[in-house]
Amino acid sequence: MRKTYDKEFKLQAVRMVKEDGKRIVEVARELDVAEPTLHNWVKKYNQGKDDVFVGSGYVQPEKKMEYDLQKRIRDLEEENAILKRLWASSQKTRSNL
């Protein structure tokens, strides 16, 4: 299974390289992270984007809204199916009276 790291973990790893002056190889071994992964984190950090490390530690608002809406649709569809079964069951009970 693929490992995921939150935003704080990634920032800590990058700071160990940038501020503490440790080599990527050292930090990768110390934190049990693949060297290419840590190298990519440092590269992204150096690019200075506002939303650096979007992923496990941060969900873009648009993606969260989309996820929430999809979840709501699934919940409503499930509720609708339950209500249909209950209604059908009540109709059978009435016809037997």
Look at residues 19, 7, 89, 14 and name the one whose alpha carbon lies nearest to residue 54. Answer: 7
Q: Average pLDDT of the chain?
A: 85
| Under 8 Å between Cβ of 20 and 14 | no
pLDDT at 50 over 80: no
| Under 8 Å between Cβ of 25 and 13 | no
Distance CA 29, CA 48 (A): 25
Summarised one tens digit per residue, pLDDT across range 61-92 is 777 788 789 889 999 999 999 999 999 998 88
Distance CA 28, CA 76 (A): 45
pTM, 2 dp: 0.54
CATH code of the domain occupying 1-58: 1.10.10
